[in-house]
Chain A
């Protein structure tokens, strides 16, 4: 028996109020003629101490969702609907000043590009201590001390002397640790990591992921982990939302989604993962492309690329429906997964 549920109710099931609740979020990009929704009625929640993954192909709205939470979306975009409840407060209603006191302090973000995300002209020490000074009243010496401790905590040797180095004197992996240091130095409740490992090579990638898992364990950090790599999600996330063309198409605990993926798109993503199959010879690729924002089909957005398509798929827009406890999907014709 399946039932339609308000999607925000699909949470970790821990019983306590989630730390972050994104409800029916709509983020639109302003166009010359009309606006288009890059994030379209997206709902999910992140519990305290939970690592929540968001996956999907390039352009499906993952970054836009993350940037909406911190209200750092591009100038030509705007949050046009929904609510973002963080610790009970709707972030969409806060003024800039209140929002600034949350950024880098209670919610932090690390980005994909460790090569360009740091200011090239200032030392790493300055870039970390200025976060501390922005959010607390401490002496310069104490801020430096805390910055050094954080770098040390994140596995940078000679932390105190490295404070005076410039970003270009660090390798990519080390730079990503510096990014994490300035994100975590204020001990935030939520870390948003937007493809934090994509630009790094595999060993470094594993180190950074281990680090995130460890921080969650030690600091009780909640993490919103954005990636296009299901392997990363499988490794460290508790729950995952699969996004397609601005919508959540499947959401649930990682174990369930990997054991029993229901949505044809999720199944396609799984099939195209290199190291979960033995078929190293020919990597599966989902045929076709994500539809343009301006040319979004009115029926199922995945229909053009779907092997399960039935007539209703192009006529009506499927809703997100819970098919087993805490596991929901947006599909008229789900079938069991065959590899």
Chain B
């Protein structure tokens, strides 16, 4: 019996979310008196997981392991989970985890519960708290099956260090057959994605045009943040769709969300509500965002931003 976690890597390093999944998995393993087994793909060195309480790292090898395929990864994860007789599997809320989790659920005849925000309320039956109605509500959901997959919301649990010395092994899992092939990957490098970011800086129509986005980018670079935007900004082509956040865009669950020239429409707020601390900068004191924010400045973005960037640079340098 074990708690099995899917720990994602990129170019040979663990993604930050892997450490949060491990921290959660460790708490879950302690709660249920089981050991914690992490599964990696094509990752020779799993020792970094020893900072988060992992007991065993199983690395999936083989030619398919080097590039993500939801179907093949799900089959391999199912194989390891079955071998370890796992009744609890934890995955993240990354695009890849959300892609493979339902496939894994079918393989394991498990219940998959996504957007989970806390440790289980009870283990028998497994009862989990999750967000729904695009973060406008929460629900307590109990599972009717004995094997369960928990999809943890980003930043919901945090990273907790627990030293361990994981044993490491590798397994040549069976490759699932698929007619699907990746023909190209277009990925921006060197920028922080919304999914991985601790801080997100978001611009709305109040910024007047794409030519002013250097202010958003400067602020984001100063803070090590990802950039985001409101829906009309992406619809007008000022920014790429991948930056559109909100109810019909990407969800944001960062530690800090800074909204500039965003009015705070209900559909925008729905998607970013899970962020812990929200700051709004808007010229209109009546903008609805002020009701959702923790900190606010009523002011013109074109005056506030240059000053904020300068002061933050000085603060970071100090």
Task: Tell me if chain B binds chain A.
Answer: no
